[in-house]
Amino acid sequence: MGISRRRFLTWIGAAGMGLAASEKSHAGSLKHFEGYKDSMGVLHDMTRCVGCRLCEEACNKVNDLPKPVKDFKDLSVLESSRRTAPSAYTVVNRYEIPEQTKPVFRKIQCNHCLEPACASACFVRAFRKSQTGAVVYNPNVCVGCRYCMVACPFEIPTYDYDEPLTPEVRKCTLCSPRIEKGLLPGCVEACPKEALTFGKRKDLIKIARERIAKHPERYIEHIYGESEMGGTSWLYLSGAPFTSLGMREDLGNTPAPSLTSGALSVVPMVVGLWPVFLAGMYGMTQRREKIAEEEKEAAVALAVEEANDLAEEKLAKALSKADAEKRKALEKAEGEKEKAVKEALEAAAKPSDDSGEAVKGGDE
Amino acid sequence: MTNDTDLKPRWTWLTPFNMIAGVIVIAGIIVTLIRFTQGLASVTRLSDYNPWGIWIGFDLMVGVALAAGGYVTSSAVYLFGMKKYHSAVRPAILTGFLGYFFVVIALHYDLGRPWRLPYPFIVGWGTTSLLFEVGLCVALYLTVLFLEFSPAALEWLGYKRTRELAHRLTIVLTVFGVVLSTLHQSSLGALFLAAPSKLHPLWYSPYLPTYFFVSSVIAGLSMVIFEGALSHKAFHDKMSKTYLEEHDPLTLGFGRAAALVLAGYFTIKVVGLAADNNWHYLTTSYGLWYLFEIIGFVLLPCFLFAVGARDKNLKLIRRTSALAVAGIVLNRLNVSLIAFNWHLPRAERYIPSFMEVIITVFMVTLIVICFRFIVTRMPIFYEHPDYTEHNH
Ligand code: SF4
Ligand code: SF4
Ligand code: SF4
């Protein structure tokens, strides 16, 4: 597959699929991946489809799937609407369109999106958009979370719920093993009405435009898959409105990875800014607490100091008061002493008679 | 849940609690055996249209949201300076740890090949996937919670040195915990950004990650109150004076905080509704269901919490916390199951099987059993006598 280097570089950014070198994540940016140049696809022209189910049968055969209960020739299954299943990678449904005499048949299988939702959703990269255009699945790494099934807007992937040990996600492979050998996809080869055309996607779009231009009365002027969800490798032409065929027209043209890229780009912000903010919060709390602590300490110290001062003052006052009192007391005592001495002396001087008397008395 | 005597640890085995738990555990083990020998189809009603059932919608989505009490409480106490609620940290961390642990266990039931759970980090870094971010953050956060919880276990075991080491990491772990929780709580909502065509527009919004993060704070606050009230009845004898003293102010404080966050949540919900101009959906049946959620489980608890906080009505706050928790459960189920695949005909919609419900009940029961085992042995509601000072 001839790829120029410049082209190659523009693929870097495809949603985590592709070559080893281009495994950089796309989802983080908003760059739109327009598909590998020259990648293949299939055009399903529903105006040609007759609902013979030969494609279903071929698909069953090339993929070695278990034989269904009702044979592929039994068209009664078209009575009910079916979806893909682990044992049926493709199914054909019949739609009765009001105001149209003939029913329309639609073949359902994986659309092999250019930017597959399944691949961007898978957390172990089990899906890869290969250069052939096929979205291929690797059962050897799949964990079985089934987020791919949640994400696929076309409700395509199925799961082996019955398998206890080796369940796999199952879906159309675009017959990638056959394409690589140069063979046509099984369903395309089997189609007797050329309702399926295999080719380069860009050529298929040209073909589809030409058909619409040539038979505007026959077709709705829209190629389903050209831009739905960013574009798909499988393209559809129809004569009846696509919604009446169970095909959603409200999906928009935004490729799946851009739906989640915004949320993913927030991650580095949270990782970068949150700790700074939280550390700041913590620091502030600590500081507030420290200041509070310090203030408390200071207040306590002040109070203690004040109390001390007060106590000292009181003490001093008390002391000085005590001093004065002591002095007074001493003075008083001194005075009293002097007085007493004086009195004593006086007494001693005057009453020599007294004492004589006493002695006298004593002698008596 | 049960009254005092039922939950009280006693060594006579035939308590009503033990009998009910026993029956659930036996049923759980039987379904577990079927699940792992016969495959998912034998026990679940999962289909190709409905790849996720209640094991994701309830066990993972609700489980992670309700386990948010751990990061909410530890950040409030250690980072935002509400030390007065210090005694609430350990029970909250324990619930968080058990919650996440059993989220991971439940995930093993749901994954097709659970033994490959580490593959995203070994084989293929699917960094474009939000599920990768969820997986990585949950794995790391479980480790953080384990480390945050370890001091209690180490005190119980008597490993003083290791305990000191673990204890010293508190602040770093708390910051990590908040970062990781912000990321994976919001990413759980962001998972559904990938499916705008399947989730009803009233629930789908570019703000889904923000909604999930903000409501996880509500879940965390309400769960701490709610669980505190339950524990109060069951493990009163295990609670220290400090815990009991701090309990009422905590209920009041968290109730007030929950009222505020709920008011904020309501506002951004309305902003989202206006931004997408989704008003016209309100008159449809999904619209009524949406209004039921927003009025009954956001606006009403907001109002009741506010009244309770104003009147210091602890009983009202406790009851409101149950309402708020129910609101989170309803919201997560709405986003992941009820409003998901709303476009499908009724026959294709998912209704859980009886055995799926058994596993979910089994998980919840195991959490309660483990919680009971731990709080009756380890220093959760009280401080270990050897490590009494609060050194933060
Ligand atoms: S249709 Fe679905 S399964 Fe197929 S490539 Fe697109 S997203 Fe993947
Ligand atoms: S089920 Fe498998 S392929 Fe699908 S997202 Fe999960 S791991 Fe990937
Ligand atoms: S391309 Fe191959 S796998 Fe896909 S539907 Fe056709 S036959 Fe089946």
Identify the band that residue A349 occupies on the pLDDT scale cut at 50, 70 and 90: low
Of the CA atoms within 13 Å of residue B64, those in its CB half-sphere come to: 30
Instruction: Tell me which residue has tokens 């029961």.
Output: B365
Tell me if residue A327 falls in helix, strand or coil. Answer: helix
Question: What pLDDT is recorded for position A354?
Answer: 46
Who among B47, B135, B197 is closest to A153 (CB)? B197
pLDDT of residue B11: 58
Burial class, A21, CB count within 10 angstroms (exposed 0-12 / middle 13-18 / buried 19+): exposed
d(CA B330, CA A360): 128
Q: What angle do CA B178, B333, A267 make, to 5 degrees?
A: 30
Q: Which residues contact B338 (CB under 8 A, 6 or more apart)?
A: B289
Instruction: Tell me: pLDDT of A344 over 90.
Output: no
Distance A189 CA to ligand 3 centre (A): 10
Low-confidence ranges of chain B (pLDDT < 50): 1-5, 390-392
pLDDT tier at A23 (50, 70, 90 boundaries)? Answer: very low
Higher-pLDDT residue of A98, B92: B92
What does the pLDDT read at residue B271? Answer: 96
For residue A118, the ligand closest to its alpha carbon is 1
Which of B361, B94, B323, B130 shows the shortest CA–CA distance to B231?
A: B94
Pocket test for ligand 1, best of A83, A156, A159, A172 (most atoms within 8 A of CB): A156
Lowest mean pLDDT among A171-180, A191-200, A306-315: A306-315
Reply yes or no on whether the pLDDT at A6 is more than 80.
Answer: no
Q: Provide the angle, in degrees to the nearest 10, between the axes of the packed helices B314-333 and B300-310.
A: 160
What separation, in Å, do the N-terminal and C-terminal C-alpha atoms of chain A show? Answer: 165
Closest to A176 measured CA to CA, from A137, A149, A206: A137
Residues of A (146-175) whose Cβ lies below 8 Å from B: 146-147, 149-151, 153, 155, 157-168
The number of CA neighbours under 13 Å toward the Cβ of A207 is 18
Q: Which of residues 106-145 of B touch A (CB under 8 A)?
A: 110-114, 116-117, 119-120, 123-133, 135
How long, in residues, is chain A? 364
Instruction: Answer yes or no: is pLDDT of A328 > 80.
Output: no
Q: How confident is the model at residue A19 (pLDDT cuts 50, 70, 90)?
A: very low
List, as ranges, residues 283-342 from A with C-beta within 8 Å of B.
284-285, 288-289
Report the DSSP pairing between strands A169-170 and A91-95. unpaired
| Helix residue ranges per DSSP H, A14-93 | 54-62
Cβ–Cβ of B116/A150 closer than 8 Å? no
B160 in Cβ contact with B382 (< 8 Å): no
pLDDT of A24 reads: 38
Q: Which among A245, A249, A230 is positioned nearest to A112, based on CA atoms?
A: A230
pLDDT higher than 90, residue A319: no
* String of DSSP letters for A81-126: ----BTTBS-EEEEE--TT-SS-EEEEE----BSS-HHHHH-TT--
Closest CA to A151 of B39, B52, B211, B134: B52
CB atoms closer than 10 angstroms to residue A280: 11
CA A296 → CA A288, A289, A302, B380, distances in Å? 12, 10, 10, 32
Residue of chain B minimizing CA distance to A84: B48
Which residue from B78, B128, B175 is facing A25, i.e. has the nearest CB?
B128
Split at pLDDT 50, 70, 90, the class of A12 is very low
In this structure, which amino acid lies at residue A171?
K
Measured CA to CA, the distance from residue A240 to residue A100 in angstroms comes to 9
Give the span between the Cα atoms of B207 and B314, in whole angstroms: 33
**Which positions in chain A touch B179 (Cβ < 8 Å)?**
270-271, 274-275, 278
Ligand 1: centre distance to CA A150 (Å): 11
Q: What is the ipTM of this complex?
A: 0.92
pLDDT for A100: 84
Atom of ligand 2 nearest to the CA of A143: 7
Which pLDDT score, from 0 to 100, does residue A176 have?
95
User: Tokens 């659930």 label which residue?
Assistant: B24
How remote is the CA of residue B356 from the centroid of ligand 2, in Å? 21
pLDDT band at A119 (very low <50, low <70, confident <90, very high): very high
CB contact at 8 A, B55 and B67: no
Contact B183/A at CB under 8 A = yes
Which among B52, B174, B193 has CB closest to A260? Answer: B193
- What is the H or E stretch that residue B319 is in? helix B314-333
Mutation to test the B interface, candidates A22, A23, A142, A145, most B Cβ within 10 Å: A145
- Residue A146, pLDDT > 60, answer yes
Residue A158 pairs with which residues in a beta bridge? Answer: A170
Judged by a CB distance cut-off of 8 A, whether residue A82 touches chain B is: no
At residue A350, the pLDDT reads 60
Instruction: Say whether pLDDT at A14 is over 50.
Output: no
Task: Provide the 10 A C-beta neighbour count for residue B357.
Answer: 13
Q: What are phi and psi of A127, to 5 degrees?
A: -105, 145
Q: Which residue in A15, A159, A263 is closest to B193 by CB distance?
A: A263
- For residue B288, what are the CA distances in angstroms to B160, B284, B291, B351? 57, 6, 5, 21
* Residue B89 identity: V
Give chain A's mean pLDDT.
84
Closest-lying ligand 1 atom to the alpha carbon of residue A117: 7
Q: Which of residues 83-142 of A touch B (CB under 8 A)?
A: 83-86, 117, 119-126, 141-142
**Is A159–B112 a contact, with Cβ atoms under 8 angstroms apart?**
yes
Coil, helix or strand for A264? Answer: helix
Beta strands A127-129 and A135-137 are antiparallel
Measured from CB, residues less than 6 Å from any atom of ligand 1 are: A 110-113, 116-118, 135, 152, 154, 156-157, 171
Distance CA B351, CA A26 (A): 36
Q: Which residue has the higher pLDDT, B269 or A20?
A: B269
Chain centroid to CA A260: 8
The model's pLDDT over A40-57, given as tens digits with 9 standing for 90+, comes to 999 999 999 999 999 999
Kindly tell me if the per-residue pLDDT of A30 is higher than 90.
Answer: no
Confidence of residue A145 (pLDDT cuts 50, 70, 90): very high
Q: Which residue has the higher pLDDT, A31 or A4?
A: A31
Nearest-CA residue of chain A relative to B49? A155
CB proximity A263 to B under 8 Å: yes
**CA angle, residues A224, A227, A230, in degrees to nearest 5:** 130
Ligand 2 mutation pick, A147, A149, A160, A163, max ligand atoms within 8 A of CB:
A147
Q: Which residues pair with A88 in a beta bridge?
A: A85
Q: Is the pLDDT of residue A281 over 70?
A: yes
**Helices within B276-313 (DSSP H only):** 285-294, 300-310
Q: At what angle do helices B314-333 and B208-234 cross, to 10 degrees?
A: 130
Residue B107 pLDDT: 96
Pocket lining: A108 vs ligand 3, CB cutoff 6 Å? no
What is the whole-number distance in angstroms between the Cα of residue A135 and the centre of ligand 3? 12
A66 touches A139 (CB < 8 A): no
Query: Which element (helix H / strand E) includes B85?
Result: none
Give the tokens for residue B170: 């508190």
Q: What is the pLDDT of residue A118?
A: 96
A62 lines ligand 3 (CB under 6 A): yes
pLDDT of residue A220: 94
SS3 (DSSP) at B158: coil
Nearest CA to ligand 1 atom 5: A112
* pLDDT of A115 above 60: yes
Six token digits for residue B74 = 């530890």
